């Protein structure tokens, strides 16, 4: 049997909080229970929000908490060639297109269409689907716009991707070992269309989360993805990319989120649950484990 490989994959765009501690400790516990290894991946493709100082704090917090990972962490900002290669494959299949509207422009266009009476779907994060008028641009038009220096992100052409994936005839599934927001467990049927034409790269050409995540899970040989339930729906997008790029499919376990006293998801901007603050106030790693119920 192949060895189980887990990963903890935080983004150093703020201080780690109790929710991260829970996810890291749970990954470590589950890996140890079945004799697997734990890898650390630093998801820092957002070069504006992720800073070396925040990464240093993150590593310090994880060491303090007692998280032990195998080998060197994989830092996404050092592996853009891997994401470019995957993007190139999607482009060669005719499934990716340059999208020239900024988020604000896309939002305004959708508002205008809604005002005209068109109903417009939103993704699970509440963001309206990208209008995608560029899908029908000719190759010349795309080349002309790019050559003129117009900024663009790369997006997946969802409709084409769904047909290229063979989803019309066969459903994409994953094995859920935790549970989804509506109690989904066991074999879950993926529904990638809920994301519309999601981003593959940002306007700075750096890989977007879904693409970098599935490429890295495959390169790192991840067999068990254990992460917060807020990423449950993202797994539908991940299954589609895995199918298109012929990548292996790990098991998934979406775990409870640690909520604040008002029942809200913790945020990196709140100091009271940050590991740094709790440590400064005298908490021990054992206190943290107790606070998150482990
Ligand atoms: N980097 C993501 C986060 O910090 C986690 C991604 C994942 O576990 O797939 O929320």
> Can you give the C-alpha Rg of the chain in angstroms?
20
CB atoms within 10 A of CB 41: 23
Tens-place pLDDT, residues 96-137: 999 999 989 999 999 999 999 988 999 999 999 999 999 999
Phi, psi angles (nearest 5°) of residue 187:
-80, 115
Q: Are 106 and 181 spatial neighbours (Cβ–Cβ below 8 Å)?
A: no
Question: What's the pTM?
Answer: 0.95
Tell me the CATH architecture of domain 81-209. Answer: Alpha-Beta Complex (3.90)
Kindly report, residue by residue over 21-62, the tens digit of the pLDDT. 999 999 999 999 999 999 999 999 998 999 999 999 999 999
Atom of ligand 1 nearest to the CA of 217: 9
- pLDDT digit string, tens, across residues 47-56: 899 999 999 9
Closest C-alpha residue for ligand 1 atom 3: 10
> CB-based contacts of 39: which residues, under 8 Å, 6+ apart?
5, 6, 7, 8, 69, 70, 71, 73, 74, 220, 222
213 touches ligand 1 (CB under 6 Å): yes
Q: Where are the domains of the chain?
A: 81-209
Using a 6 Å cutoff on CB, does residue 17 contact ligand 1?
Answer: no
Q: Cα of 140 to ligand 1 centre, how many Å? A: 38
Cβ of residue 231 lying under 6 Å from some atom of ligand 1: yes
Whose Cα sits closest to atom 6 in ligand 1? 9
What's the confidence (pLDDT) of residue 261?
Answer: 77
């Amino acid at each position: 049997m192949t060895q189980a490989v887990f990963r903890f994959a935080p983004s150093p765009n703020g201080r780690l909080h109790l929710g991260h501690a829970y996810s890291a400790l749970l990954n470590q516990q589950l890996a140890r229970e079945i004799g697997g290894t734990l890898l650390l991946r630093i998801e820092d493709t957002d070069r504006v929000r992720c800073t070396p100082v925040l990464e240093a704090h993150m590593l310090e917090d994880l060491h303090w908490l007692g998280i032990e990972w195998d080998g060197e962490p994989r830092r996404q900002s050092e592996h853009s060639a891997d994401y470019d290669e995957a993007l190139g494959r999607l482009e060669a299949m005719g499934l990716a297109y340059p999208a020239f509207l900024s988020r604000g422009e896309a939002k305004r266009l959708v508002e205008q269409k809604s005002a005209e009476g068109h109903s417009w779907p939103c993704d699970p994060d509440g963001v309206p689907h990208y209008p995608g008028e560029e899908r029908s641009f000719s190759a010349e038009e795309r080349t002309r716009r790019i050559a003129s220096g117009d900024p663009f992100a790369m997006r997946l052409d969802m409709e084409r991707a769904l047909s290229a994936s063979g989803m019309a005839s066969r459903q994409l599934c994953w094995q859920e070992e935790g549970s989804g927001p509506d109690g989904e467990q066991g074999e879950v049927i993926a529904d990638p269309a809920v994301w519309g034409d999601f981003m593959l790269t940002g306007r700075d050409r750096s890989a977007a989360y879904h693409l970098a995540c599935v490429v890295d899970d495959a390169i790192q040989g991840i067999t068990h993805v254990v992460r917060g339930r807020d990423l449950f729906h993202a797994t539908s997008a991940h299954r589609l990319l895995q199918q298109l790029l012929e990548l292996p499919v790990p098991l998934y376990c979406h775990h409870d989120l640690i909520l604040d006293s008002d029942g809200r998801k913790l945020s990196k901007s709140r100091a009271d649950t940050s590991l740094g603050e709790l440590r400064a106030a005298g908490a021990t790693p054992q206190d943290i484990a107790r606070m998150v119920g482990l």
